[in-house]
Amino acid sequence: MILEQRFKKYLEDKFHSIKPTKEAMEYREEVYSTLLDHARNFRNNGENNEDIIYDKCIDTLGDFDATLKMFEQDRLNLKKAALKTAQVLLIAISAFFIITVAYLAISFVTKAWSKTWLIEVCGAFLVTIGILCANIPTMVKKKRYFVLRFEASIIITLLFVALYLAFVVLIPQYNSRSWMIFLAMVLILLFADCALAYSFGQRKSAFIDLLFLIMALTTFLYICLALLGFISWGIFWILPVAGAAIDVLLVVIVFCLWSKKKKEELDEKYYTTWKE
């Protein structure tokens, strides 16, 4: 049996262990071409014994059974991912359909079209939030922490926008103060991102978030308390200034601690480093 036929027979036997798909057939052709290239190189280097060439070429494949198992697992993972995506889309479309039917039915019955549109909009927000929440375990498992923090920001933003719309439509007498909801949203966004960054071990990012949070919190308190009449606009401008002072103090403390730690590391390096 010539060498090319032996390669084909070997690959045919091995590929019986995985499902016959178009991708598997293409991969088999790719491996066959690689074996032929190796055989050609061995011949060019002076090897004429086909049995030795065959063995050497097969050895280049390593643990080919394990490689095929990994190939099959990757195919199954892609199939599962596609199925999961299709399921999510089906659920989302079904949810939007139900929300739209409910919106139209309630609107025709109550005739309150100026308010019932909240059902459609807020319902869409809730569906989106549900999809993002369902994706959280996968992101945690894959350790995609920046994606998680971004998704958390989207969830919080959608919740506050829905709250703002409900506030404006259902309690119109307080519309002049409804913008405060977005100030509160900024605080919650910073707090949530800071907490997530710290819990994921991203300490530098969490510290930066903390500095912004302190400034945002003191500014929020100053504006809201002054608007509500609890404090005067005059002297209490010191609140945001105090927030900035706290930030500066924290930066100085952290810098001093970092410098001390770096010095200790350098001292230890002095005692443990040797010239080659």
pLDDT single digits (tens) 78-94:
888 788 878 878 888 89
- Exposure class string for 57-95: b at 16+ Cβ within 10 A, else e: beeebeebeeebeeebeebeeeeeeeeeeeeeeeeeeeb
pTM value is: 0.65
- The residue assigned the tokens 């039917």 is 101
Q: What percent of the chain has pLDDT over 70?
A: 94
Q: Which residues contact 177 (CB under 8 A, 6 or more apart)?
A: 227
Among 44-48, 172-176, 199-203, 267-271, which is the least confidently predicted range?
A: 267-271
pLDDT at 273: 63
The structure tokens listed for 169 are 């439509």
Query: Which residue, chain included where needed, has tokens 């390096």?
Result: 269
Query: Which residue has better confidence, 276 or 72?
Result: 72
Q: Is residue 116 pLDDT above 60, yes or no?
A: yes
pLDDT at 161: 92
Q: Where are the domains of the chain?
A: 3-62
Separation in Å, CA 62 to CA 24, 51, 53, 153, 274: 18, 18, 15, 46, 41
Tell me: the pLDDT tens digits for 138-156?
A: 888 888 888 888 999 999 9
pLDDT for 212-227, tens place per residue? 888 888 888 888 888 7
The one-letter amino acid at 8:
K
Judge whether 243 and 215 are in contact, CB under 8 Å.
yes
Closest CA to 246 of 211, 205, 271: 211
CA dihedral 22, 27, 32, 34 (to 10 degrees): 150
Cα 59 to Cα 66: distance, rounded to the nearest angstrom: 14
Longest CA–CA separation in the chain, Å:
98
Q: What angle do CA 163, 168, 174 make, to 5 degrees?
A: 110
Residue 70, CB-side half-sphere exposure with 13 Å CA sphere: 5
**DSSP 8-state symbol, 47:** -
Residue 91: its H or E element:
helix 64-110
* Tally of CB atoms within 10 A around 25: 11
